[in-house]
Chains A and B, each alone.
Chain A
Amino acid sequence: MTLAFVAPSSPLRRRLAPILRWTRRYPAFVVGSLVFSAVVLASIFAPLIATHDPVAIYPTERLRPPSDTWLFGSDPFGRDVYSRVIWGGRVSLAVGVGVAVLATVLGLLIGLIAGFSRAADAVLMRIMDGVMAIPGILLAIALVAVTRPSVGTVVVAIAIPEIPRVVRLVRSVVLSARELPYVDAARSTGTRFPMLLARHVLPNTIAPLVVQASFVCASAILSEAYLSFLGLGIPPTIPTWGSVISEGRNVVQMAFWVVLCPSVFLGATVLSINLIGDGLRDMLDPRLSRSI
């Protein structure tokens, strides 16, 4: 029995070995996933781990520095910054994921049409060039300004400027996939278009789309924070990272914690998603990862 000669190790260690190997190979991805999971868990369990009601006002407790009762201090209205930050994560994550899904799905649809139809391609790509010429955050600001404030409109407003990049990506994948020998072969043996699309072209788009979606998600969370910071978008009754920062803006010299704590959460979340995106690209497309 050769198996008996394998170096003795505890079952636990044997089970951990592949994880350790992975950690060593993709350290940034593992760190990113851990941080992101922590933020997700904190947001899901916000009602349990928040120490105060995020909207409750304690007029006598304004601008308290961080302490045992006020973990991250209190804001100019006497609200608990820690609880507001924990609850604010829900909005940020919802917007991030919502935008990533919406922009990816719409971008995939438009990109497929542009990739397969020459006539539509010219028109669609000119429109995409136009959308890309408008600085994304400005377009989102303007779109939010003309709609009623809600989480839904913010998701749409942030998703629209993100669509062109997804479209370009999908279109380029489709254009090169169309020339692949096995796609040609499938077409010449009479594979119908829906089948061709689903079996031979779409699978090529999945890896780059997943990577792109994670970057869209990170940038959407930043955009939402900028919108809330400028006092636009999400109704002021809902705590968000951007709105907490905005409320601390005028007291930053005497109460830096109001601005600092949500900013650090925001930065850590965006960084963790970008690290996940980089890691996914390394895993899914080893060729690309070495160059960029």
Chain B
Amino acid sequence: MLGYILRRLLATIPVMGTVAVIVFMLLHLTPGDPAALIGGDLASAEDLRLIRERLGLERPLVEQFGSWIWQILHGDLGTSLFTQLPVSQLILQRIEPTLVIGLTIMIIAVVVAVPLGVVAAWKAGTWVDQTIMTLAVVAFSMPIFLIGYLLIFTFAVDLKWLPVRGYASIASGPVKFLQHIVLPSVTVSFVYIALLTRMTRATMLEVLNQDYIRTARAKGVATPRLLALHALKNAAVPIVTTVGVGLSSVLGGVVVTETVFAIPGIGRLMIDAIVRSDFPIIQGVILILSALYVLINLLIDLSYSLFDPRIRY
């Protein structure tokens, strides 16, 4: 087991390395001068010289990358060009809403999608299945702002049950906190629910065709027990994998939601940084969110043995 964890940890190094190279190269991808890109159209030659000096842009590219990655490995994501504050500090200040909403989305999606997918597979070919699958493709196609604004209209403007926008941290009390995260989380969860429902249905269909399911049915196992224990448990690994892979669209979706609901998360931090060409922040946010994605998928990989005792490391 320990050996497997180590091997999996080592396997994330090339992935994160590639991410780091891509994120680093962002600034150097364009044919023009990165300093001009940061300075904007109004920067004077003196401004450009200062920017180059501060970021060490006149050094060879490999050397720049080396010192950049060295800093990152020491937990230093650089300094914001605009506020002069450390990027890691800025991200820490704003990461709570993003993490909380991301996690809530995952919980909502699993709780809703897995039962839906199981029912769709169990009733495969009937109107129940067709309705669930139609709803799934519709949910998959709806833009985040359409769902978001419809929810705002119904629950915030019309019924006045929930706040229209903003965020209240966990520290400000559970009621206020929950009120603020419900709408943004539900908004993004639609896509994820659609994805997970389709995956759950597909794997359940495969499992339900197995001989041991017929045996279980023949010996008189009640349907709920059959579905939950005999079938779902065996379908768990691919479903859990989808939870991890779909996370990428959740993290991306949170960025859009934070704008729809005016939530001060790191997605908003990144968008604001783009307007000011504050590249260290942009790079920092992408690195952190990608690392989060890789980390959660690693944990999911390691969790397989919980769902399937045949998997031993």
Contacts and interface: CB of A to CB of B under 8 A. Distances in A.
Given A132-B248, A232-B274, A263 B145 contact: yes
Interface string B18-29: 110111001101
A111 to B, nearest CB: 18
The secondary structure that dominates the A interface is: helix
A133 B26 contact: no
Interface residues of A, number: 48
Centre residue among A132, A146, A231, A278 by max chain B CB count within 10 A: A146
Nearest to A130: B18
Given A129-B15, A130-B14, A264-B146, A278 B27 contact: no
Given A126-B18, A129-B14, A142-B282, A135 B137 contact: no
Interface string B259-294: 110000000001100110100001001100110011
A274 B18 CA distance: 31
B141 A133 contact: no
Interface stretch (B54-62, B250-258, B299-307): B250-258
Nearest to B157: A253
Interface stretch (B67-75, B82-90, B198-206): B198-206
Interface stretch (A48-56, A61-69, A265-273): A265-273
A127 B19 CA distance: 8
A141 B29 contact: no
Which of B17, B29, B37, B143: most chain A CB closer than 10 A? B143
Contact of B252 (A135, A146, A290): A135
A135 B248 contact: yes
Contact of B270 (A130, A138, A225, A260): A138
Contacts of A231: 271, 275
A145 B275 CA distance: 8
B140 interface: yes
Interface residues of B, number: 55
A178 to B, nearest CB: 25
B29 A260 contact: no
B202 A135 contact: no
A1 interface: no
Q: Chain B interface secondary structure, helix, strand, loop or mixed?
A: helix
Contacts of A208: none
Contacts of A264: 146
A252 B260 CA distance: 11
Contacts of B149: 252, 256, 259-260, 263
A196 interface: no
A176 interface: no
A99 interface: no
B45 to A, nearest CB: 21
Nearest to A126: B14
B219 to A, nearest CB: 27
A229 interface: yes
Contacts of A39: none
Nearest to A259: B149
B5 interface: no
Nearest to B143: A266
Nearest to B259: A230
Given A137-B252, A266-B146, A274 B137 contact: yes
A292 interface: yes
Given A230-B256, A259-B145, A259-B149, A146 B251 contact: no
Report which residue of A135, A230, A259, A271 has the largest number of chain B beta carbons within 10 angstroms of its beta carbon: A135
Interface string A224-249: 01100111100000000000010001
A155 interface: no
Contact of B15 (A133, A136, A267): A133
Interface in B138-186: 138, 140-146, 149, 152-153, 157, 164
A145 B152 CA distance: 30
Contacts of A259: 145, 149
Contacts of B134: 28
A134 B248 CA distance: 7
B249 interface: yes
B282 A145 contact: yes
A132 B18 CA distance: 10
Contacts of B289: 134-135, 138
Contacts of A278: 137
Nearest to A125: B14
Contact of A136 (B26, B142, B153, B249): B249
Nearest to A272: B141
25 contacts: A130-B16, A130-B21, A131-B22, A132-B248, A133-B290, A133-B293, A137-B255, A138-B289, A141-B270, A141-B271, A142-B23, A142-B282, A145-B282, A146-B27, A225-B143, A226-B143, A229-B256, A231-B271, A249-B259, A253-B157, A259-B149, A260-B149, A263-B149, A266-B143, A267-B142
Given A134-B286, A147-B29, 18 more contacts: A28-B134, A133-B19, A135-B249, A137-B253, A139-B22, A141-B270, A142-B274, A142-B286, A222-B141, A229-B145, A231-B275, A252-B152, A259-B149, A263-B146, A266-B146, A267-B141, A274-B140, A278-B137
Of all A-B residue pairs in the complex, the 4 with the closest CB atoms, nearest first, are A130-B18, A137-B252, A271-B141, A263-B146
